[in-house]
């Protein structure tokens, strides 16, 4: 066995490179292991000329290698040069297969590895950890020895390989860099996930390439792909652009041909290239095998780390995307810091120290950053389970604020999805909008704002500080992360939210003690879109509260189901059957993926018996609902056409995702003259790019749902935004701020296809210049060629960023699309106001 | 601090904040430009016309009703102002920011005040018509109003058929569908004999947008090569049957595209008269005003 390095760094992405450069600068004996023959494979595989962004801009870069926003080629060039300059010891084609300690067994340090089979059964294996030095086994059979290991392998994992005979032939590939590279080829795509579908469509996109593209699907469904991708693929198939081969699998591969097993037997067809996109093995199994524990069994969980990035295996450190930091700057800073820590520099403050210190600067009390973090952690009960590193990370997405007595923390009807924790002091909730003097206190240690977090709806009440109060405002993202990291926090938030929802719904007469038995018996259940919660005619007796999502109520009249009403989050249903003991009078089903709280009917009845005021209130609500149902049913006899229209239009809108919208653009095609002035006004209000496509989208009974943002209650686009650039603004709009790095995740995640990636074009000549002299492209979005030419004159196109509707935030008068419609065809509505009989059968002309 | 907060809350619920503005928008009734705000501009236009007529009948003008009396000047000034303002719709349409404008409200006002202009303008002439620049301006004004009436009628009646014809397809998708059919036709026509193949080639080669304005407006394309090929092929062999079926599909797709073109042409053609006439009207009107003052 050769040299034992002080540190071995696995992975040469931004984090690994920065760590290696630091180790080289400090003169530590080190080795950088890279599995390919070039540095930074993930960025290397970006498409040619891609602009790489450097966010967050307020974070200082602390690294021996440089990085600023620029083209992929420039950045890789600089890194290659500087890694060479630092004399970093790089070992290429070195893929780590396993890491194990070669010292003595560490007493009591046993790693439990849980593997889950497809059928849901669990298998637990135990691994005894051993002390350093570590032996890193490479796939080549070599072994590298090191006292410390820095794991910077990212989250990409390794692609799953094909296993049929001939799978090792050179024309089988697992990656498609540039679809325009291939012409005149017979290409088979294996795998119908999003990657496979996108590759297949890319290759078949331009008929001038004359590729014959087929995509193999093992079954007939596409369970792992997004619906939008599947429908686009099927459209391409119908249009003859490519072929979808269902129930087909590869049997053998040979040069020029492929043999498939299909439902109708074997076929052998010409094939010049195979692109297999059959998923990748997440690096988790490998990481766990090194003795590194994760915070939970959750698929999105990260390794459990100390404040210096050390994992549960002593001497193995985890940084970068694998540690939960997807942004390049964070990664590079961690690379630098982790080597400093390994080198014994324990006094080093993290690079984000100034950012966090700034968050505490305005608070009274003059504490240090560490003291503040501890103050919040100990003061707010749901934060008790966190460690200092988690607290630090948590604080990056949160804010600490001080409020004087009487100061408003948030107002009723303001949008907001953040959660608040009270670290000291207390707040007062104004439960009655008509009389602000009636308040309910919430004490220190507790939380508020959880309804906005869970339901995505506006704040239900105004909340003021009752005394000098310090709160921590936890962004939606940080709150979600907290719940996955700290299970006890999750249960606490759930319990409090159920209790508050009950208190808020049934009025001020109730106390916490009254609802305690109900809270105890409550169960939170998740419902798929379209799943039935209550069936008409059944005699079950539970009551439901919609926690998130929305429901629709239907009743069978004659042969057809008739749409009765739309229930947004925060409403309850099922009380009729409980109160009068009858069978269910209507069917209630989820309009979108939703969560309901199930309360046992007996518990509710017991509460009604105890509180006559509540019974009265429930009877009143029930009478109101009965009246609506009766009205629609009576209409059914007299104006059956109108009821059918209403029912079917409402169903159509729900099918098109209106159920999760907060503000959606609809076009009445009985009025739309197709002038596209809405698109033009949109472009002219927003940097010259339109954020809506009027023509695209579905239509029913002349009501058209164009491709335009619905500002969802729980925006899908926010799910995976590396710089957290997607936020909900003060007027409820979901917008993307300037920190967007142009990765395109939001565009892929949006089920409605409303996000486009484009470069902000240069300014057009003014309207007057166009009207009088014809200069410039005129109103509306300029053609691509004009934008390109004008940008080149200004020194090249800007980087592509994600753009979407921001509801004309900050523009006087509101959405320009609606205001610019000459005939009144364009309207923006919210489902709870629009999905009513009166609105849907309105006579507009 | 507390009072400041209350003030802010008050402003929000009081109705000037963006949220209450948005809520009003979401709550508002959904009506067309003709019905805007309970026919507000119709009532204003009727009031203007009624007042003009009443004034004309009741005020004793010496020596006779004429553009040159004080009442004539009043009507003329109102008419001139209206014409200038009505022509500004073209600017407002293209410049919706800054300012909380609603183009629907402008269109509504444009329609009804434009109709009232016919009354005001006619009374301004005092029914004195001749071969001069004054009458030219009057006639141009009437032509602009008449083309405008056509516009209102098509705006109110045609959109539903435009939507029905579209069948959820965008214009680009219609052309894409045609391209896909063409590709299939090209390969299906390979086994055909020379004569039949030529028919198919002629159909494929013909520009989708062939035909003049008349064809656009009527939707009739007598020289459509696809229709001709459809008639001439009689579907003897298997290959011919396939080609014929594809030609039928192609023809149906062409019909949809042509239907869209026809309706859009009808929705737009009047603007090619309305707007140049408006420019001419403003020129004639300027001449009319200058000459009146010159010969005062």
Residues A593 and A727 in one domain: no
Q: In A706-777, which ranges are continuous DSSP H helix?
A: 745-749, 767-773
Residue B26 lies in a domain: no
CA distance B29 to chain A (A): 8
Pairing state of beta strands A4-10 and A594-599? unpaired
Residue B8's pLDDT is 35
Q: What average pLDDT does chain A have?
A: 88
Residue B122's pLDDT is 96
Is A660 or A228 the better-scoring residue by pLDDT? A660
B274: contact with A, CB 8 A cutoff? no
CA distance B97 to chain A (A): 7
Q: Which residues on chain A are in Cβ contact (under 8 Å) with B94?
A: 680, 684, 767, 771, 778-779
Residue A510 lies in a domain: no
Say whether A842 and B36 touch across the interface (CB within 8 A): no
Residue A118's pLDDT is 58
Please check the confidence at residue A151 and state whether its pLDDT lies above 60.
yes
- Selected for mutation to probe chain B from A662, A674, A704, A821 (highest B CB count within 10 Å) is A674
Say whether B171 and A704 touch across the interface (CB within 8 A): no
The answer to whether the beta carbons of residues A357 and A369 sit under 8 Å apart is yes
Q: Which residues contact A242 (CB under 8 A, 6 or more apart)?
A: A200, A201, A203, A204, A213, A214, A215, A233, A236
Residue B278 lies in a domain: yes
Structural domain range at position A406: 353-505
Say whether B35 and A820 touch across the interface (CB within 8 A): no
Nearest CB among B5, B9, B103 relative to A822 is that of B103
The owner of tokens 């759930």 is A494
Q: What average pLDDT does chain B have?
A: 88
* DSSP states along A137-197: EETTS-EEEEEEEEE---S--EEPPP-STTTTSTTEES--S-GGG--S-EEEEE--SHHHH
List, as ranges, residues 95-154 from B with C-beta within 8 Å of A: 95-104, 106-107
Residues B51 and B88 in one domain: yes
Nearest CB among A406, A702, A819 relative to B103 is that of A819
For A716-740, what is each residue's pLDDT tens digit?
Answer: 898 778 888 998 888 889 999 988 8
Q: Which residues on chain A are in Cβ contact (under 8 Å) with B162?
A: 669, 672-674
Residues A426 and A491 in one domain: yes
Q: Is A7 helix (H, G, I), strand (E, B) or coil?
A: strand
Residues B150 and B224 in one domain: no
Q: Is A474 helix (H, G, I), strand (E, B) or coil?
A: strand
Q: Which residues on chain B are in Cβ contact (under 8 Å) with A825?
A: 159
For A254-268, what is each residue's pLDDT tens digit?
Answer: 999 999 988 878 889
Residue A163 lies in a domain: no
For A25-80, what is each residue's pLDDT tens digit?
Answer: 999 999 999 999 999 988 887 767 777 878 677 778 999 999 988 888 999 999 99
For A384-421, what is each residue's pLDDT tens digit?
Answer: 877 777 788 788 889 999 999 999 999 988 888 899 99
Residue B161's pLDDT is 92
Is B25 or A399 the better-scoring residue by pLDDT? A399
B264: contact with A, CB 8 A cutoff? yes
Residue A53's pLDDT is 78
Please check the confidence at residue A153 and state whether its pLDDT lies above 70.
yes
Residue B235 lies in a domain: yes
Say whether B93 and A704 touch across the interface (CB within 8 A): no
Nearest residue of A to residue B104, measured between CA atoms? A822
φ/ψ of A447, rounded to 5, equals: -125, 165
CA distance A374 to chain B (A): 29
Residue B64 lies in a domain: yes
Residues B253 and B283 in one domain: no
B157: contact with A, CB 8 A cutoff? no
Quote helix, strand, coil % in chain A, to nearest 5. Answer: 30, 25, 45
CA distance B151 to chain A (A): 11
Mean pLDDT of A583-587: 91
Residues A422 and A494 in one domain: yes
* Structural domain count, chain B: 2
Residues A141 and A290 in one domain: yes
Residues B151 and B40 in one domain: yes
Say whether A827 and B5 touch across the interface (CB within 8 A): no
Residue A120's pLDDT is 67
Q: Which residues contact A492 (CB under 8 A, 6 or more apart)?
A: A381, A382, A447
Residues A664 and A802 in one domain: yes
Please check the confidence at residue A711 and state whether its pLDDT lies above 90.
yes
CA distance A828 to chain B (A): 7
Residues B170 and B149 in one domain: no
Tokens standing for residue A71 = 């083209």
Count the Cβ atoms, other than its own, within 10 Å of residue A301.
15
Residue A47's pLDDT is 66
Please check the confidence at residue B254 and state whether its pLDDT lies above 60.
yes
For B187-221, what is each residue's pLDDT tens digit?
Answer: 888 888 888 899 999 999 998 888 888 898 988 89
Residues A676 and A617 in one domain: no
Please check the confidence at residue A679 and state whether its pLDDT lies above 60.
yes
Angle (CA) B51 B54 B56, round 5°: 105
Residue A515 lies in a domain: no
Say whether B96 and A464 touch across the interface (CB within 8 A): no
Please check the confidence at residue B275 and state whether its pLDDT lies above 90.
yes
Residues B154 and B283 in one domain: yes
CA distance A68 to A87: 22
Side by side, the strands of the sheet bearing A826-829 are A699-700, A703-704, A664-668, A826-829
- CA-to-CA separations, B131 to B73, B121, B128, B135, in angstroms, rounded: 21, 17, 10, 7
Residues A273 and A404 in one domain: no
Please check the confidence at residue A744 and state whether its pLDDT lies above 60.
yes
Residue A393's pLDDT is 79
- CA-to-CA separations, A134 to A7, A143, A309, A358, A784, in angstroms, rounded: 10, 10, 17, 40, 56
Residue B94 lies in a domain: yes
Mean pLDDT of B101-112: 95
B66: contact with A, CB 8 A cutoff? no
CA distance A427 to A262: 66
**Is residue A845 very low, low, confident or very high in pLDDT (cuts 50, 70, 90)?**
low
Residues A232 and A365 in one domain: no
Residues B68 and B127 in one domain: yes
Nearest CB among A672, A830, A845 relative to B35 is that of A845
Residues A531 and A499 in one domain: no
Residues B66 and B123 in one domain: yes
Residue B17 lies in a domain: no
Tokens standing for residue A613 = 């005021």
Please check the confidence at residue B17 and state whether its pLDDT lies above 80.
no
Residues A372 and A407 in one domain: yes
* Structural domain count, chain A: 5
| Domain limit, last residue, from A589, A610, A638 | A638
Please check the confidence at residue B15 and state whether its pLDDT lies above 80.
no
Residue B211 lies in a domain: yes
**Is residue B4 very low, low, confident or very high in pLDDT (cuts 50, 70, 90)?**
very low
Listed range (A19-23, A509-513, B117-121, B227-231) with the worst mean pLDDT: A509-513
Residues B76 and B133 in one domain: yes
CA distance A129 to A314: 9
Residue A675 lies in a domain: yes
Q: Which residues on chain B are in Cβ contact (under 8 Å) with A697?
A: 168
CA distance A451 to chain B (A): 19
Mean pLDDT of B1-14: 35
Nearest CB among A464, A680, A819 relative to B102 is that of A819
Structural domain range at position B51: 33-162+272-294
- CA-to-CA separations, A829 to A661, A736, B33, B103, in angstroms, rounded: 9, 22, 18, 18
CA distance B98 to chain A (A): 7
Residues A270 and A403 in one domain: no
CA distance B145 to chain A (A): 18
CA distance A733 to chain B (A): 11
B279: contact with A, CB 8 A cutoff? no
Residue A241 lies in a domain: yes
> Which CATH number is A618's domain given?
2.60.120.10
Q: In A244-327, which ranges are continuous DSSP H helix?
A: 284-289
- CA-to-CA separations, A779 to A427, A767, B104, B162, in angstroms, rounded: 51, 7, 18, 24
Taking alpha carbons only, the member of A813, A840, A829, A674 closest to residue B106 is A813
| Domain limit, last residue, from A638, A664, A698 | A638
Say whether A408 and B5 touch across the interface (CB within 8 A): yes
| Domain limit, last residue, from A230, A260, A280 | A280
Residues B142 and B67 in one domain: yes
Is B62 or A376 the better-scoring residue by pLDDT? A376
- Selected for mutation to probe chain A from B8, B159, B171, B184 (highest A CB count within 10 Å) is B159
B38: contact with A, CB 8 A cutoff? no
Residue A646 lies in a domain: no
> Which CATH number is A67's domain given?
3.50.50.60
CB pairs under 8 A between A and B: 165
Residue B289 lies in a domain: yes
Taking alpha carbons only, the member of A132, A129, A105 closest to residue A7 is A132
Taking alpha carbons only, the member of A835, A826, A828 closest to residue A652 is A835
Mean pLDDT of B100-125: 96
For A564-584, what is each residue's pLDDT tens digit?
Answer: 889 998 889 998 888 888 899
Nearest CB among B5, B91, B156 relative to A845 is that of B156
Residue A70's pLDDT is 83
Residues B106 and B194 in one domain: no
CA distance A510 to A266: 70
Side by side, the strands of the sheet bearing A587-590 are A532-534, A587-590, A550-557, A560-568
* DSSP states along chain B: -HHHHHHHHHHHHHT-SHHHHHHHHHHS----TTTHHHHHHHHHHHHHHHHHHHHHHHS--SSSS-TTSHHHHHHHHHHHHHHHHHHTHHHHHH--TTTT--HHHHHHHHHHHHHHHHHHHHHHHTT---SSHHHHHHHHHHHHHHHHHHHHHHHHHSHHHHHHHHTT--HHHHHHHHHHHHHHHHHHTTTS-HHHHHHHHHHHHS-TT-S-HHHHHH---TT-HHHHHHHH----SHHHHHHHHHHHHHHHHHHHHHHHHHHHHHHHTTHHHHHHHHHHHHHHHHHHHHHHHHT-
Residues A17 and A129 in one domain: yes
Nearest CB among A671, A779, A829 relative to B32 is that of A671
Say whether B30 and A404 touch across the interface (CB within 8 A): no
Say whether A731 and B168 touch across the interface (CB within 8 A): no
Please check the confidence at residue A619 and state whether its pLDDT lies above 60.
yes
Residue A645 lies in a domain: no
Residues B126 and B193 in one domain: no
Say whether A670 and B93 touch across the interface (CB within 8 A): no
């Amino acid at each position: 066995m050769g040299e034992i390095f002080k540190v071995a760094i696995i992975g040469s992405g931004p984090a690994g490179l920065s760590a290696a450069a630091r180790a080289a600068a400090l003169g530590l004996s080190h080795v950088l292991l890279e599995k390919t023959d070039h540095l930074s494979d993930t960025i290397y595989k970006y498409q040619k000329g891609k602009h790489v962004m450097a966010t967050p801009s307020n974070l200082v870069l602390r690294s021996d290698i440089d990085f600023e926003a620029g083209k992929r080629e420039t950045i890789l060039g600089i890194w290659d040069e500087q890694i060479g300059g630092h004399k970093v010891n790089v070992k290429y084609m070195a893929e780590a297969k396993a890491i194990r300690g070669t010292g003595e067994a560490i007493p009591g340090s046993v790693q439990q590895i849980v593997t889950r089979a497809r059928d849901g059964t669990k298998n637990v294996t135990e691994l005894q950890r051993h002390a350093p030095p570590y032996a890193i086994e490479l796939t080549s059979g070599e072994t590298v020895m090191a006292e410390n290991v820095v794991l910077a392998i990212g989250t990409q994992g390794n692609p799953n390989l094909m296993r049929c005979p001939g799978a090792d032939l050179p024309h089988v590939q697992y990656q498609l860099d540039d679809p325009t590279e291939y012409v005149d080829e017979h290409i088979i795509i294996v795998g119908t996930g999003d990657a496979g579908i996108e590759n297949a469509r890319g290759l078949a996109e331009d008929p001038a390439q004359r590729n014959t593209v087929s995509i193999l699907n093992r079954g007939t469904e596409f369970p792992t792909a997004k619906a939008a991708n599947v429908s686009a693929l099927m459209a391409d198939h119908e249009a003859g652009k490519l072929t979808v081969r269902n129930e087909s699998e590869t049997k053998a591969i040979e040069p020029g041909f492929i043999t498939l097993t299909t439902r109708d037997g074997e076929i052998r067809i010409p094939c010049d290239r195979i692109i297999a996109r059959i998923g990748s093995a997440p690096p988790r199994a490998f990481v766990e095998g090194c003795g590194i524990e994760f915070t939970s069994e959750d698929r999105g969980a990260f390794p459990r780390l100390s404040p210096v990035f050390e994992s549960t295996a002593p001497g193995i450190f985890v940084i970068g995307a694998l540690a939960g930091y997807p942004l390049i700057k964070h990664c590079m800073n961690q690379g630098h810091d982790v080597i400093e820590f390994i080198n014994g520099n324990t006094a080093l403050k993290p690079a984000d120290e100034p950012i966090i210190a700034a968050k505490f600067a305005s608070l009274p009390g003059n504490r240090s950053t560490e003291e503040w973090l501890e103050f919040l952690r100990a003061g707010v009960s749901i934060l008790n389970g966190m460690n200092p590193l988690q607290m630090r990370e948590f604080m990056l997405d949160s804010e600490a604020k001080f409020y004087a007595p009487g100061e408003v923390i948030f107002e009723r009807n303001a949008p907001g999805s953040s959660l608040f924790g009270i670290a000291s002091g207390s707040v007062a909730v104004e439960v009655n909008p008509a009389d602000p003097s009636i308040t309910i206190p919430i004490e220190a240690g507790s939380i508020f704002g959880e309804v906005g977090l869970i339901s995505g709806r506006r704040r239900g009440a105004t909340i003021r500080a009752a005394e000098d109060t310090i709160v921590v405002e936890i962004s939606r993202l940080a709150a979600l992360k907290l719940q996955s990291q700290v299970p006890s926090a999750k249960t606490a938030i759930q319990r409090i939210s159920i209790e508050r929802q009950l208190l808020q719904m049934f009025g001020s007469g109730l106390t916490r003690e009254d609802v305690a038995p109900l809270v105890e018996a409550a169960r939170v259940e998740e419902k798929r879109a379209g799943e039935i919660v209550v069936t008409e005619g059944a005699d079950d007796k539970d009551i439901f509260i919609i926690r998130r999502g929305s429901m629709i109520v239907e009743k069978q009249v004659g042969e057809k189901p008739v749409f009765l009403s739309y229930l947004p989050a925060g409403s309850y249903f099922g009380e009729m059957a409980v109160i009068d003991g009858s069978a269910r009078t209507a069917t209630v089903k989820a309009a979108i993926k939703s969560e309901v709280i199930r309360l046992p009917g007996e518990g509710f009845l017991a509460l009604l018996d105890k509180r006559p005021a509540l019974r009265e209130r429930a009877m009143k609500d029930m009478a109101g609902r009965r009246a609506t149902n009766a009205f629609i049913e009576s209409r059914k006899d007299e104006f059956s056409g109108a009821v059918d229209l209403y029912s079917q239009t409402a169903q159509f809108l729900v099918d098109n995702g209106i159920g999760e919208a907060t503000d959606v653009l609809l076009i009445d095609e009985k009025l739309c003259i197709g002038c596209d002035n809405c698109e033009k006004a949109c472009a002219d209000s927003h940097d010259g790019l339109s954020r809506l496509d009027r023509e695209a989208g579905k239509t029913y009974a002349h009501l058209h749902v164009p491709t335009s943002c619905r500002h969802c209650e729980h925006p899908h686009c926010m799910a995976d935004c590396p710089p957290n650039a997607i936020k909900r603004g003060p007027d409820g709009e979901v917008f993307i701020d300037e920190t967007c790095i142009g990765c395109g995740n939001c565009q892929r995640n949006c089920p409605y296809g409303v996000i486009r990636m484009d470069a902000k074009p240069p300014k057009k000549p003014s309207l007057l210049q166009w009207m009088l002299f014809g200069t410039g492209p005129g109103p509306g979005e300029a053609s691509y060629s004009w934008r390109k030419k004008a940008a080149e004159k200004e020194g090249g196109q800007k980087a592509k960023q994600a753009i979407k509707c921001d509801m004309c935030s900050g523009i006087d008068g509101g959405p320009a699309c609606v205001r610019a419609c000459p005939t009144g065809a364009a309207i923006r509505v919210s489902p709870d106001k629009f999905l009513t009989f009166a609105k849907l059968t309105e006579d507009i002309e | 601090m507390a009072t400041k907060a209350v003030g802010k809350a008050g402003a929000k619920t009081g109705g000037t904040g963006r949220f209450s503005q948005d809520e009003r928008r979401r709550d508002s009734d959904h009506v067309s430009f003709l019905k805007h705000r309970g026919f507000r501009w119709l009532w204003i236009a009727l009031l203007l016309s009624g007042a003009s007529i009443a004034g004309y009948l009741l005020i004793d003008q010496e020596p006779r009703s004429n553009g040159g009396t004080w009442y004539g000047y009043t009507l003329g000034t109102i008419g001139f102002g209206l014409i200038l303002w009505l022509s500004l719709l073209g600017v407002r349409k293209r410049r919706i920011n800054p300012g909380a404008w609603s183009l629907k409200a402008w269109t509504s006002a444009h329609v009804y005040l434009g109709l009232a202009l016919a009354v005001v303008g006619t009374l301004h002439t005092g029914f004195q018509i001749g071969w001069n620049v004054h009458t030219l301006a009057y006639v141009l004004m009437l032509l602009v109003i008449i083309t405008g009436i056509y516009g209102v009628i098509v705006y109110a009646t045609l959109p539903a058929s435009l939507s029905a014809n579209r069948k959820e397809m965008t214009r680009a998708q219609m052309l894409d569908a045609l391209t896909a059919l063409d590709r299939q036709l090209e390969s299906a026509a390979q086994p055909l004999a020379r004569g039949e193949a030529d028919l198919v080639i002629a159909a494929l080669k013909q520009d989708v947008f062939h035909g003049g304005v008349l064809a656009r407006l009527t939707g009739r394309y007598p020289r459509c090569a696809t229709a001709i090929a459809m008639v001439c092929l009689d579907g003897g062999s298997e290959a011919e049957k396939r080609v014929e079926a594809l030609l039928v599909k192609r023809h149906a797709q062409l019909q949809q595209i042509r239907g869209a073109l026809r309706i859009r042409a009808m929705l737009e053609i009047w603007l090619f008269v309305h707007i140049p006439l408006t420019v001419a009207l403003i020129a004639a009107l300027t001449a009319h005003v200058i000459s009146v003052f010159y010969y005062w």
